[in-house]
Structure 1
């Protein structure tokens, strides 16, 4: 049937399962008829509109195809069959997935007359996950995963081990046939009269499994789309947590630059027996307030689903479903929230009914517990919010049920409505039992947790009240700020700078060196509290930490609002010695944990005061000079250069602290914008930065000791004041 181009018109009715394509032109509307419609059947619709099935045709869509094949193998492991899955990124651009499951059925499917392998790989909405009893719970729902990958591949080879034999079949863009050679460019001969599932080898007795290798079609996917090794490793690690005992091996043979396999084949294997409890520990990075608590339970619900009867009619039928709920959660001292949700081990990054039920139960349980303990906790009439409870929470939420309803093929949101109440009931029952337990450990952890939630609530309320006041205090109200703050006169946030200085001696020199129009000074006494190990309450009680947060004026933790910050720059001005570096680290820990948006905005700096002052005497026509150096090597090089020129060097002056400089020297080297050197603090990799902070400042001593011992030979002993 030929298709004439016509103007694009609205189609009001479209039979299910058929895609219509209409071209745009300037033809008259009167010429529009049924013969202008193009019917896309089967996998042709997938190739015409791939975004409907895999989301996009860039690297994300390429990875989605791979997840579909891997998830089929994972579903076998979820059903209790197969203990290992291998994923191999070959050097020729193909990817291969091997499992030791039951193997795709090889017998004839009666309705189509095709083998189970061909049905699974070529027919949309065909599979073993539609209530046929093959899978009680699986990640698949729509039955389009393998067939869509097949349609979008320039070549796909599949081998199945069953009944002592190995069966093989090949496809080109979804069409079965035979390749005469290796790779996707080999000559291809499609089947004409009938397709054939060939016996290509022998399998060991009792061995079953499926091997799928495919080449993504370059006509479909963008030129720069490629498999993300790190994303693949992350998904494999995640799956190994969700299915205890399952071993997943990822092997990269591509030799791509800047990848772990750049110098040769690289393989990583993941296997975890601790389940989601171990997963929660892996995700958590802050010191624990509670241990990992496990909340488990089941519930049943009834739903009406269309079932194909023997006459080929879709009949609405009521079926009873069972939903298993398994939640692992722990609270830490931080305020970041990490919640991962899964349905039959399929990640749901955008949540759904299971996550909604979890959050609903959390809020209900904690409000009730705070009401019961109101007098001890001094709650008053304030109401706890969801964000107060989620602060510092790390949780993994999993539900298992047959035929889950997702919103879209990408399976990012669970839509089965009955799951919400089941999850809410399980979490409410189990969490209440934990919080009211009379066991000594549970009781102590529950008390700490309720204290933390109340502290978060009070911090949020305090921040809200602060937002309702003016950003700048009037002269009458200025006494509410710490008395030791030496504020500036300007109210232009884009110009103002807050110097946090070490000690009163540095404050005195800084007062004389600053430009009071836009530079403010806040002195701190010694080393502030290590907030990486302290609780939120302890941090707020600490005078130095509280003063810094109050002066900056934007709140703290999750309530921090960078737009309310009173200064455009915050500059940490500490001595250029080991103690000064330690104080700077403690300050950065405070900013990282409780005022991170200020760091992310690039508004936190470290001043770079010099270590030495070198005075060069006048010689002939050469005038005398004063040179500042910042390292021992730089000092020695500078002195050597002048001595080779025959210049006389007076005894270099070494500064042990900012207080040893006079005001002119401090202004010239550290405070005056035209001459100073500032080092901006950035968070290019927040996860890595958090790991370093936890190593250096956390409560776990053993890793820090190992780091110190291994790094001892790099210590510059000249920088230690002794």
Structure 2
């Protein structure tokens, strides 16, 4: 091999900047060039709108899968100014749509992250063949068009606005993605889940694509994760108890809040769901381990105090309490730490002890107040162990 053939220097390095880098390697930013990546684009826009609603600045969020293949996300907040905000100094909508560093969202407990990577609006803009931003603010409606991440023209006033809010409509670039068809079912399930985890959030999803006419689902749950547990489909079998044991609590030791709900249902199946800052953690983590530790400690303590277990009997450890258990544990942390890049497992060490202590306390109180149901739960677990 000649020296010329193996020569490698700075001239061989290609530097991609800004939105050019996003378009060159879309999978690095949305995780996939398939349907999953499309959903991440949508979530990157919905993140901001949901935060407007949860902060009290907006009343509702609406997402529409349009008949022509575009996606529209709208909120009825005050409307984001195109220029930098004078009151806060925060970036304006133009910056949010073109600068990857603008609007970078920290993993605070006060911020909902729907997208896997905490995407900014600029990523969605870069991966769209067309994007329209409409702001209704201070009685005026202003619109700006983008193509492939680049503004077609400056923002233009289109007339008076009777209501305030921001609407982002985008069309995924078909040359970058394997499909441009979002899944109504997948999105509906995620928004439903989000509404459970954020009490009072009003979010709707409309699909204008079906030949038979549009279909719409709207979610708003005032019971939080209690409603989530109730919604889990019941399996055949006599329920052990009808109560949903639940609580919400802040703990400064973990710099965040926890919300837990649980009950024992009729089937033998264990169904435990865990979330961190409104994102599912399918591989569990310290919050889920804390839930199991707390449940085991409360049941074991009660069983021994009532003579359902003797001193010679093995303890009801975390590996024995899952018979028929349905539970949801959701934590919202100022500084969430995840094991691995996919955020599927929570790693914050203090969370485990904090959740365990709280669960033990609240479940222990419920057991004391409901002796008949408490004995039924423990007897069933012991009977299942004997059968195994």
TM-score when scaled to structure 1? 0.49
Q: Separation in 2 of the partners of 1:328 and 1:151?
A: 41
Residue 193 of structure 2 is aligned to residue 242 of structure 1: no
- Contact 1:125–1:143 (8 Å) recurs in 2: no
Q: 2:271 aligns with which of 329, 338, 346?
A: 338
SS at match of 2:320: helix
Partner of 1:279: 228
How far has the Cα of 1:234 moved from its partner?
Answer: 1.6
Query: In structure 2, what is the equivalent of residue 165 of structure 1?
Result: 140
**Structure 1 residue 407, shift from structure 2 partner:** 5.4
Shift of 1:44: 2.3
Q: Which has the higher contact order (CA 8 A, sep 6+)?
A: 2
Paired position in structure 1 for 2:172: 216
SS of the residue aligned with 1:444?
A: helix
Alignment of 1:359-370 (within 5 A): 359-370=292-303
Which runs of structure 2 are paired with 1:618-637 in the superposition (5 Å)? none
Question: In 1, Cα distance between the equivalents of 2:90 and 2:156?
Answer: 13
Conserved 8 A contact 1:69-1:97: yes
Of 322, 341, 351, which aligns to 1:419?
Answer: 351
**In the alignment, which residue of structure 2 is the partner of 1:70?**
46
Aligned 1:526-545 pairs, distance under 5 A: none
Report the Cα offset of residue 100 of structure 1: 1.7
CA distance in 1, matches of 2:345, 2:146: 32
Residue 458 and residue 119 in structure 1: after superposition, are their counterparts in 2 closer, same or farther (change >3 A)?
farther
Residue 431 of structure 1: CA displacement? Answer: 2.1
CA positional deviation for 1:119: 2.0
Q: Aligned match of 1:289 in 206, 215, 240? A: 240
Q: CA separation of 1:387/1:68 partners in 2, compared to 1, >3 Å: closer, same or farther?
A: farther
Per-residue CA deviations over 1:667-721 (Å, capped at 9, x if unaligned) read xxxxxxxxxxxxxxxxxxxxxxxxxxxxxxxxxxxxxxxxxxxxxxxxxxxxxxx
- Distance (whole Å) between structure 1 residues aligned to residue 291 and residue 233 of structure 2: 19
Q: Which residue of 2 aligns with 1:34?
A: 10
Pair 1:200-2:167 in alignment: no
- Match of residue 252 from structure 1: 207
How far does residue 411 in structure 1 lie from its aligned partner after superposition? 4.4
How far is 1:415 from its partner? 3.9
What is the alpha-carbon distance in structure 1 between the residues aligned to residue 191 and residue 13 of structure 2? 44
Q: Which is further off, 82-91 or 395-404?
A: 395-404
The correspondence of residues 130-149 of structure 1 with structure 2, limited to 5 A, is 130=106, 137-140=110-113, 144-149=119-124
Change (3 A) 1:300 1:144: same
After superposition, residues 564-575 of structure 1 pair within 5 angstroms as: none
User: Do the aligned partners of 1:138 and 1:403 also contact (CA within 8 Å) in 2?
Assistant: no
Contact 2:109 2:277 in 1 (8 A): no
Task: List per-residue Cα deviations over 1:315-366 (Å, max 9, x = no partner).
Answer: xxxxxx7311111111112121222222333333333332232223333333
**Structure-2 change in CA distance of 1:237 and 1:130 (3 Å):** closer
Alignment partner of 1:233 is 2:185: no
Q: Deviations over 1:104-136 (max 9, x none)?
A: 3433279xx9951122222224327449xxx76
**SS of 2:167's equivalent?**
strand
Supply the distance in 1 between the matched residues of 2:105 and 2:12 (Cα, whole angstroms).
37
Structure 2 SS opposite 1:376: coil
Q: Which runs of 5+ in 1 are unaligned?
A: 1-6, 8-25, 179-195, 256-261, 302-320, 461-722
Does residue 286 of structure 2 align to residue 353 of structure 1?
yes
- Contact map agreement 1:288 1:330 (CA 8 A) in 2: no
Within-5 A mapping of 1:421-500: 421-435=353-367, 437=368, 439=369, 442-460=370-388
Counterpart in the other structure of 1:305 = none
* Candidates 106, 126, 130, aligned match of 1:151: 126
Provide the rounded CA distance (Å) in 2 between the counterparts of 1:352 and 1:154.
39
Q: CA RMSD in A?
A: 3.0
Contact 1:87–1:98 at 8 Å: present in 2 too? yes
Gaps of 5+ in 2: none
User: Are residues 219 and 431 of structure 1, via their aligned partners in 2, closer, same or farther at CA, if it must alter by over 3 Å?
Assistant: same
Q: Which residue of 1 aligns with 2:23?
A: 47
How far has the Cα of 1:406 moved from its partner?
4.4
Q: Which residue of 2 aligns with 1:117?
A: 93
Contact 1:297 1:325 in 2 (8 A): yes
Shift of 1:203: 2.3
Hey, what's the Cα distance between the residues in 2 that align with 1:408 and 1:150? 27
